[in-house]
Amino acid sequence: MNRFVFADANKCIGCRTCELACAISHQDEGIGTLNDPNDFAPRLQLVKNAKVTTPVMCRQCDDAPCAQVCPNNAIVHEDGYIKVIQSRCIGCKTCAIACPYGAMDVVTKMVTEDTGRSALFQRKVPKSQALKCDLCSHRKEGPACAQVCPTGAISLIEPQEIQQTSQQKRELAAASAAVIGLGK
């Protein structure tokens, strides 16, 4: 079972601090910067409507539908999380369609194509790449979004926590069934 970032919609105030922290955390990777609003590329998206506000991010699925459909094997399970190997990504958007949470994003930016000739022959071409939450694997402190959330709505969930919560729910259900059974 993979760890993942959980967002509690009951605590989220829609401040977008998580998006900003995510973008800042990943700006050294060359995908998205804070200098140009058109190039802002966090790996999570805040969803707001009349009843709920919450960030949507990769759930690090064990069966990873995005990885199963990737024609270039650019999405892999490695180091305890599902990640995109950008050098393999062709920006086909198949992963975005397959993701049941809408957590995959494909961004296009202009890059300089290296023709192997002088700078006179270089040109700008569009390059699309899939982006998704990578649990800030490059940070020893963990996900930047969880660290900066002012209400504590975002947290990293470890597999042992899921197992412990499931066990507590089973015990509670068994105790409730026993009480109901005694009442008859």
Q: What is the pLDDT of residues 119-162, one digit of tens each?
A: 677 788 888 999 999 999 989 999 999 999 999 999 999 888 88
pLDDT at position 113: 78
CATH topology of domain 60-132: Alpha-Beta Plaits (3.30.70)
User: Tens digit of pLDDT for each residue in 44-56?
Assistant: 999 999 889 999 9
pLDDT at position 84: 95
CATH architecture of residue range(s) 1-57+136-159: 2-Layer Sandwich (3.30)
Locus of tokens 């699925």: 61
Q: Are 10 and 151 in contact (CB under 8 A)?
A: no
pLDDT at position 35: 65
Is-same-fold flag (1-57+136-159; 60-132)?
Answer: yes
pLDDT at position 163: 87
- Domain coordinates in residue numbering, the chain: 1-57+136-159, 60-132
